[in-house]
Homo-oligomer: A and B are copies of this chain.
Amino acid sequence: MATLEALNAEYAQYTDEFNRLWKEGNKPERLEEMKKRLQELKKQITVAKAADGGAKEAGKKERLLLKTPKGTRDYGPGEMFCREHIERTVKECFILYGGAQLDTPVFERKDILAGKYGEDQKLIFDLEDQGGEQLALRYDHTVPLARYLAMSGGTNTQSKLWQVGKVYRRDNPVMSKGRMREFSQADFDISGQWDTMIPDAEVLSLVCKILTRLEVGDFTVKINHRKILDGIFEVCGVPPARIRPISSAVDKLDKLPWSKVKEEMVVEKGLDEAAADKIGEYVKHKGSRDLLERLLADEQLVVNKSAKAGLDEMVLLFDYLDAYGITGKMSFDMSLARGLDYYTGIIYEAVTEASAPPGLNADATASIPVAPPKPRAKKFVADGEEEIDESTVGVGSIAAGGRYDNLVGLFATAAAGDEKKKAQGLPCVGISIGLDRIFALLWPKWAERGMRTKEVMAFVMSAGDGLLKERMELVQELRDAGISADFLAKRRPKGMNAQFAAGERDEVPFAVIIGGDELKSGIVTVKEQRWQITNGKKTKVESEDKGAQVKRVDLVQHIRSSGVYQLWASGKMIDV
């Protein structure tokens, strides 16, 4: 048997070789073969290690790997402060638009999720069968919402429901761009038999409001309509059974050049080349109401029933978008197709400049780039899963959604157990906000501005002897009055400096100092402290101010009437 060292050396060499061939784009069969050999080697190494183990010194055990699972991460205090700001802003907008909150479990029965996500079904995280039900982690909020609405059986009187929570996909993560295996989505959905395009316009207005308030930078909402798209495919001669596969090829136009998409249509999906070219002519268009006019003037298109219905709805929608004052934010984009099967009406996707991969055209709305984008570099790693070179990937869309009129009915019908008796459906339209992608956009700006990590307003210190109980009592007094306060958890802190240092670490604006004599006469010293950013670094503004003598009974009012307290109480939390 080969020694452990020899095996390790062979494994390392072979991995390098594999990565080189991978990058050079060698044949999949050759790579597959090498992969097998690598896995074989790894097994031998495990066996050799076990045999080797006894020989080593006793105390050493297998090291525990201290990490979060692949595609997940911890968020520490500074990051959570930013994330809470994002979540609170989104929730406030949901409330402004008349939404009511819903919460569903993080896992569902597997049969609820089955057959809803097309080929992405394989990305679902399953729970182990430990007896009892077969469960899986939720993939989005839309399917659990539809399950909830179907269970309510028409008795649910809330037409606007919102959810905020984590969803799960076993995809290849690109952590720095907010593409995670565990990620947070905030959904808002309108259900019910309302007049055409009114709820749809509400949802589009909502997403504009949220992205504006969050200051994500310039953004565009690409919109299209499934009925128009299906009409185009019919007019171009796509057989009915191939419409969904061809549509999913079109959906790749934001990542691939037209030539590659056409190749997929013709070579992989067997579409007639002329038909593909015709589709290519249609899907390269984008615009606004002008594009709508041009399509309405397309005699070939308007005779198609599906296309005509979609175009009529778009006319109505544009009228409403004008009333909401958001037409300028929209890009009617014929190349937008959206992957999920369940959409039946308008579909949309919000992008910013940062949405596109760096290698691609900086204009995120350019759907058919002339030059092919830089191919994503992949790296083979030991556990057999691929890793993506993060520098070649963009943040992607930061919000997306559409109309899905049949999903609730699908559940109701399946639960009735009789396909002939179609249960009453419930038309729905909704949007998912990608909170992690928005965080990926906003966090660098926050970090740059040196935002605080917590909201402590007053740090209570003692001059002279420890005065621990007195500090405890004053801290409680402030907290009881709703003022966040803290102190150094030491009986006898090493002088004032140790206490100032602790308060300054958290950039606490008020130092409240108690001392023996003043304590007896009911006086405390209050020193306001400020911070500034110099050369990109946050530093305390040095001041000769020795602080104000404030009567203890007036202390709460003194802090409450300060500018910094009022700014923070307003929830703005901009402390620069």
Q: Chain A interface (Cβ within 8 Å of chain B)? A: 59-70, 72-77, 80-81, 83-84, 95-109, 111-112, 125-133, 135, 137, 147-148, 150-151, 156-161, 166, 170, 182, 190, 192, 194-195, 198-199, 201-202, 205, 209, 319-320, 322-325, 383-385, 411, 414-420, 453-456, 468-469, 472-473, 476, 479, 482-486, 489-491, 505-506
Contact = CB atoms under 8 A, between A and B. Distances in A.
How many identical subunits does the complex contain?
2
Contact of A411 (B66, B170, B205, B324): B66
A159 B68 CA distance: 21
A106 B65 contact: no
Contacts of A202: 489
Contact of A70 (B62, B101, B133, B182): B133
A453 to B, nearest CB: 5
Contacts of A468: 198, 323
A77 B162 CA distance: 9
Contacts of A192: 489
A132 B61 contact: no
5 nearest A-B residue pairs (beta carbon) = A63-B417, A77-B100, A98-B486, A72-B105, A80-B101
Contact of A107 (B64, B102, B126, B182): B182
A433 to B, nearest CB: 17
The listed residue with most B CB atoms (<10 A of its CB), out of A69, A109, A112, A484, is A69
A80 B100 contact: yes
Given A68-B104, A323-B472, A486 B97 contact: yes
Contacts of A135: 69
Given A100-B77, A148-B74, A170-B130, A63 B416 contact: yes
Given A201-B472, A417-B61, A454 B100 contact: yes
Given A105-B73, A199-B489, A98 B469 contact: no
B198 A490 contact: yes
Given A419-B59, A468-B198, A103 B130 contact: no
A69 B101 contact: no
Contacts of A383: 132-133
B70 A132 contact: yes
Contacts of A323: 468-469, 472-473, 476
B74 A102 contact: yes
Nearest to A136: B128
B486 A156 contact: no
15 contacts: A60-B418, A61-B417, A65-B109, A65-B111, A77-B100, A96-B485, A98-B484, A98-B485, A125-B128, A127-B137, A132-B384, A158-B454, A160-B486, A198-B490, A323-B476
A415 B63 contact: yes
B127 A101 contact: no
A194 B498 CA distance: 13
A91 to B, nearest CB: 9
Contacts of A76: 102, 156, 158
A198 B492 CA distance: 12
B415 A65 contact: yes
A211 to B, nearest CB: 15
A383 B131 CA distance: 8
Given A195-B489, A201-B472, A96 B61 contact: no
A365 to B, nearest CB: 25
A27 to B, nearest CB: 23
A475 to B, nearest CB: 9
B127 A68 contact: no
Contact of A111 (B64, B160, B201, B454): B64
Given A63-B416, A472-B320, A194 B107 contact: no
B107 A72 contact: yes
Nearest to A453: B100
Nearest to A62: B417
A105 B181 CA distance: 10
B106 A182 contact: yes
